Amino acid sequence: MTRGDRQWPTHCRAFVVDKGESGTAGNIRQHALPAGGGGEVLVRIAYSALNYKDALVLRGARGIASSYPHVPGIDAAGVVEASSGSPDWVGQQVLVTGFGLGVERAGGWSEYLVVPEDWLVRIPSSLSMLDSMILGTAGLTAALSIEALFEGRVRSGDPVLVTGATGGVGSHAVAILASLGLRVTASSRKPEAASYLRDLGAHEVSHPDALAVPGGKALAHPRWQGAVDTVGGEALADILKQTADEGVVALCGMAGGTHFHSSVFPFILRGVRLTGIDSVHVSLARRVALWEKLAGPWKPRRLAAMSTIIPLSDVAKAAERVLSGTQTGRVVVRVGADPERPGTP
């Protein structure tokens, strides 16, 4: 078994959520780390993030965390301190998103993480650890959604729609699509965020009410060639009705609901494609390729403007903002020291 010089710790500081009859509650305390054999690595975490899914775990929503007490955090970035697999990982800056992180096993809201080495992505050199968490699952999901649009008949110059535009996925989707030359309509419930969305590159900002097709028509005038839908729910049916011939709707979210009712007409009369996006089970090879894009030609220009950085002690308060839909942009959680930013705790 190969290890770094560091003694593999048995416990570390983490934000642990307990679930009882009266609900869930979380606090920072010591939690036990797995022993870490068979190709697992020990990562000292610098940053994690607060995703919509983490907020649901904190609230105790059913069917997400496999058990409680639980350490949330579906995203993590840090430095590998020891490895029971390849010694090449030791000292590398890495990120982990999805797979079972923060859901089936302890996540990134922890001083240390023990994960299989085949969950690791080396952070590309043009991204800092902080950048990688401003992107995180949201950036990866936006990238998967945008690839899905280009796999269909969506091209530079086309009009496209992004819903839930001020959210983490939405903000990255707006910024990347605009930088690739698409004319982005950003749909947001927050009128006060119009200048934020225009700064990200949105061509037009509109309220979700403007997505509605009056009169229950089966099809309506085509308004966009593609859409990244982070909200889901009944509005999706109206988005499909207004998608142009051979357009693509990439559905990744459910902030606005889990069900919708559609006719077959957008699909059989316009050849519209509805593509599901799953960022959790993407293969490692595809992740690495997507992270190279996110670090290179697709790197959003205004990463810092898209994020709020909070300490681990503030996650519960921030989760309320995420679940009430009042947060704008990504919430990055500062967990440990960042060697690139001396002076951070």
Ligand X SMILES: NC(=O)c1ccc[n+]([C@@H]2O[C@H](COP(=O)([O-])OP(=O)(O)OC[C@H]3O[C@@H](n4cnc5c(N)ncnc54)[C@H](OP(=O)(O)O)[C@@H]3O)[C@@H](O)[C@H]2O)c1
Using rule CB under 6 A, residue 145 touches ligand X: no
Phi, psi at 242, each rounded to 5°: -110, 15
Does residue 190 interact with ligand X by CB under 6 A?
Answer: yes
Rounded to whole angstroms, the Cα distance separating 232 from 258 reads 6
- What is the distance between the alpha carbons of residues 155 and 267, in angstroms, rounded to a whole number? 20
Candidates 138, 239, 249, 312: give the one binding ligand X (CB under 6 A): 138
Q: Which is nearer to ligand X, 57 or 106 (CB)?
A: 57
Tokens describing residue 194: 């119009």
Closest C-alpha among 315, 333, 312, 342 to residue 12? 312
Please state the closest distance from residue 189 (CB atom) to ligand X, in A.
4
Residue among 278, 286, 296, 313 that touches ligand X (CB under 6 A): 278
| Choices 16-24, 88-96, 309-317, 319-327 (CB under 6 A): range interacting with ligand X | 319-327
Among 160, 202, 227, 277, binds ligand X (CB under 6 A): 277
Which of 143, 200, 248, 252: binder of ligand X (CB under 6 A)?
A: 252
Q: Which amino acid is at 273?
A: R
**Options 37-45, 133-141, 305-313, 336-344: segment touching ligand X (CB under 6 A):** 133-141
Q: CA torsion angle for 326, 317, 61, 193 (degrees, to 10)?
A: 10
**Peptide bond before 69: cis, by omega within 30 degrees of 0?**
yes
- By CB under 6 A, the residues from 170 to 189 that bind ligand X are 170, 188-189
C-alpha 86: how far from its chain's center?
A: 28
Per rule CB under 6 A, is residue 255 in the interface with ligand X?
yes
Q: Which of 94, 149, 169, 272 binds ligand X (CB under 6 A)?
A: 169
The residue at minimum Cβ distance from ligand X is 167
Q: Does 53 bind ligand X (CB under 6 A)?
A: yes
- For residues 240 and 225, what is the distance between their CA atoms, to the nearest angstrom? 10
Q: Listing from the earlier edge strand, what are the strands of the sheet with 224-229?
A: 204-206, 183-187, 159-163, 224-229, 243-251, 273-276
Contact 75, 137 (CB under 8 A): yes
Contacts of residue 199, defined as CB under 8 A and 6 or more positions apart, other chains included, come to 302, 305
Q: Provide, rounded to whole angstroms, the least separation between the CB of residue 227 and ligand X.
A: 14
**Binding residue (CB under 6 A) for ligand X from 57, 231, 303, 319:** 231
Beta-sheet strands, E only, within the chain? 11-20, 23-32, 40-50, 75-83, 93-97, 112-116, 121-122, 159-163, 183-187, 204-206, 224-229, 243-251, 273-276, 307-311, 330-334
Which amino acid is located at 250 in the chain? A
103-111, 123-131, 273-281, 295-303 -> range binding ligand X (CB under 6 A): 273-281
Residue 340 to residue 50: CA distance in whole angstroms = 21
Selected from 47, 52, 99, 224, the binder of ligand X by CB under 6 A is 52
> Closest distance between ligand X and the C-beta of residue 158, in Å?
22
Rounded least distance, CB 238 to ligand X, Å: 13
Judged by CB under 6 A, the residue of 72, 168, 201, 300 near ligand X is: 168
Q: Does 303 bind ligand X (CB under 6 A)?
A: no
Name the segment binding ligand X (CB under 6 A); options: 24-32, 51-59, 239-247, 297-305. Answer: 51-59
**DSSP H or E run through 56:** helix 52-59
Q: Where along the sequence are the contacts to ligand X (CB under 6 A)? A: 51-53, 137-138, 141, 164-170, 188-190, 230-231, 252-256, 277-280, 322, 325, 327
